Amino acid sequence: MSENAPPPPRILSIAGSDSSGGAGIQADIKTITMLGGYAMTAITAVTSQNTCGVVGVEALSPQFVLDQVESCLSDIGADAIKIGMLGSPETATLLAERLDTFAGPIVFDPVMVATSGSILADEDTIASFAALMDIATVVTPNLPELGVLAGREAIADDEVFDAAAALASRFGVQVLAKGGHAGDETQVIDRIVSPTGKLASFAHARIQTRHTHGTGCTLSSALATMLGYRQPLVNAVRIARAFTYAAIENAPGFGEGSGPMGHQAVRKLEPPEEIPR
C-alpha cells in the first residue's frame, strides 16, 4: 500500500456460502473487493446449490459463527458489517448480543428465500430477525420479505411506503425496500424510509434477464462497503444500486436457471438512468 493511500474499508460479511458462487458469501467477497474494500467472512451455513435451486443446507453451530466474528473483530476490526443468511435463530440471538456495541454501520439483508425459490429461513429464524433489526443501521428487504416482516400477506405497490415506514419506526432502522419483485415490467423502484418517515426513492428501467442470482446479497454488501467508506446513506444507496445494475448487465450467462451476475466485469460505475418520480 502506498504511504499516502488510505487503508481500504474493512467489511465483515456474516452469511451463508453458495457453492455455485452466485450469491451469499461468494457474491459478498466479489462485491466488496471490486469496490475497493477488504472482505472478511463469518460463514453461517454451507449450501449445495446452483442456478436451479438449493439441494441442501448445513448450518454451522451458532458458537462457531460467533467465534469467526470474534476472530475478525478482535484483530483486524471492521468499518461496517453485512448480515445475510443466518442458518438458525440461535445464531441471530448471539449475533445481536455481540454486535449491540459495534460502533460502525450494520446492513441486515433478511434472507428468507433464494432467487430460485428455495427456502433459506424457517419460521423460528424469521421470528429472530427482530433482534437484528434492533441493532441494524439499514435493513434491505425485498417486497415479499417486507410483507413477512410487516405482518402482511401481500403488499401492493401503493402500500410499500406505509409498510416500510411502520417497520422503520418500530425498530428505529432505515428500511431499503427493494422493488425487484413488484409487478411493473418496465421499471424497478427502490425506496429508503427512515424511522421518522423521511423517504427517498430511486427508479430505473428493468433489465429483462433471468440472470439475477445474488442481487440482494450484492446490493447489501455494496451498501455496507459504501457505508464503510463513510458515504452518506442516500449516496451509498445510489452507488450500491449502480454496482448491482452493472453486475446484472454484465452477467456471463452461466447456468440453466437464475444465472449469476458479472461482478468481475464492473470496472467503472455509471449509475443507471433514473426515471423521474
Q: Which of 12-16, 53-57, 89-93 has the lowest mean pLDDT?
A: 53-57
CA 115/CA 260 separation, integer angstroms: 10
Which one of 125, 212, 218, 244 is the catalytic residue?
Answer: 212
Mean pLDDT of the chain: 90
Residue 272 has pLDDT above 80, yes or no: no
Q: What is the pLDDT of residue 117?
A: 61
Query: 93-121 pLDDT, tens per residue?
Result: 999 999 999 999 999 999 887 666 666 77
User: Rg (Cα) of the chain, in Å, rounded?
Assistant: 17
Q: What is the pLDDT of residue 32?
A: 98
Q: Has 212 been annotated as catalytic?
A: yes
Higher-pLDDT residue of 160, 40: 40
Higher-pLDDT residue of 96, 157: 96
Q: Has 217 been annotated as catalytic?
A: yes
CA 220/CA 28 separation, integer angstroms: 8
Residue 181 has pLDDT above 80, yes or no: no
Checking 147-151 for CB contacts under 8 A at 24+ apart, the result is 148/112, 149/110
Which one of 147, 214, 228, 259 is the catalytic residue?
Answer: 214
* Mean pLDDT of the 240-254 span: 94
Residue 151 has pLDDT above 90, yes or no: no
Q: Has 178 been annotated as catalytic?
A: yes
Which one of 37, 104, 217, 225 is the catalytic residue?
Answer: 217
Q: What is the pLDDT of residue 132?
A: 96
* Mean pLDDT of the 158-174 span: 93
Q: Has 77 been annotated as catalytic?
A: no
CA 265/CA 277 separation, integer angstroms: 30
pLDDT band at residue 183 using 50, 70 and 90 as cut-offs? low
Q: Has 215 been annotated as catalytic?
A: yes
Tell which phi-psi region holds residue 46, choosing left (phi > 0), alpha (psi between -120 and 50) or beta: beta
Residue 203 Cα to chain centre, angstroms:
18
Query: 48-72 pLDDT, tens per residue?
Result: 999 999 999 999 999 999 999 999 9
Which one of 22, 44, 47, 178 is the catalytic residue?
Answer: 178
Q: What is the pLDDT of residue 203?
A: 83
Q: Has 268 been annotated as catalytic?
A: no
CB 158 within 8 A of CB 184: no
Higher-pLDDT residue of 119, 36: 36
> Which residues lie below 8 Å from residue 221, measured CB to CB, with a gap of 6+?
11, 13, 27, 28, 31, 32, 82, 107
DSSP letter at 159? G
**Which amino acid is located at 3 in the chain?**
E
* Mean pLDDT of the 11-33 span: 97
Which one of 16, 179, 216, 262 is the catalytic residue?
Answer: 216
